């Protein structure tokens, strides 16, 4: 996967920088910005996969319900649910993947905010502040 490899590379670069040096913090902020871009693309792709899985599940259920006209509505609905069970599992997996990337995005955004505060505090100390 291109995105995963790029993330490994970027995270490797950030881990080699020293958070005690303002210049390294600035470089880390830039790298984390690049990480956010990659994670954003991964999240968008995972949301697409989730929505496609949802559409497949709905189509499977509708087909099973419409083409099997034997039984009551409740029986047909239950049969459709059984037929769509694998699609429902796939949908759940893709939804979890989308949530994982959203969480990664939010976590990385928080790291960026913390680094900004850390850099600001360093600048204040250099000016004689607290």
As a whole-number percent, the residues of the chain with pLDDT over 70 amount to 95
Examine the pLDDT at 40 and tell me if it is beyond 60.
yes
Q: Residue 128: which pLDDT band, with cuts at 50, 70 and 90? A: low
Give pTM, 2 decimals. 0.83
Going from N- to C-terminal start, the domains of the chain cover 22-121
Q: pLDDT value at position 126?
A: 66
Q: What angle do CA 100, 104, 109 make, to 5 degrees?
A: 150
Give the model's pLDDT for residue 30. Answer: 96
Tell me the average pLDDT across 24-40.
96
At 72, list the tokens.
């009551």
How much is the pLDDT for 70? 87
Q: Do you know the residue count of the chain?
A: 130
Average pLDDT, rounded, for the chain: 92
What distance in Å separates the CA atoms of residue 78 and residue 81, rounded to the nearest whole number?
5
Q: How many CA atoms lie within 13 A of 127 on its CB side?
A: 8
How far, in whole angstroms, is CA 130 from its chain's centroid? Answer: 37
54-106 tens-digit pLDDT: 999 999 999 999 988 888 999 999 999 999 999 999 999 999 999 999 999 99
Specify the residue for token string 């490994």.
8
Q: How confident is the model at residue 130 (pLDDT cuts 50, 70, 90)?
A: low
Long-range contacts of 92-96 (CB under 8 A, 24+ apart): 93/53, 94/46, 94/49, 94/50, 94/52, 94/53, 95/50, 95/53
């Amino acid at each position: 996967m291109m995105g995963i490899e790029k993330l490994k590379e970027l995270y490797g670069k950030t881990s080699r920088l020293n958070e005690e040096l303002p210049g390294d913090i600035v470089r880390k902020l830039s790298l984390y910005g690049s990480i956010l871009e990659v994670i954003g693309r991964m999240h968008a792709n995972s949301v697409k996969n989730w929505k496609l899985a949802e559409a497949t599940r709905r189509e499977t259920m509708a087909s099973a319900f419409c083409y099997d006209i034997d039984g009551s509505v409740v029986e047909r609905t239950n049969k459709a649910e059984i037929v769509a069970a694998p699609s429902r599992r796939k949908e759940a997996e893709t939804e979890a993947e989308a949530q994982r990337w959203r969480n990664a995005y939010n976590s990385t955004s928080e790291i960026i905010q913390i680094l900004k505060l850390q850099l600001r505090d360093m600048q204040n100390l250099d000016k004689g502040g607290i």
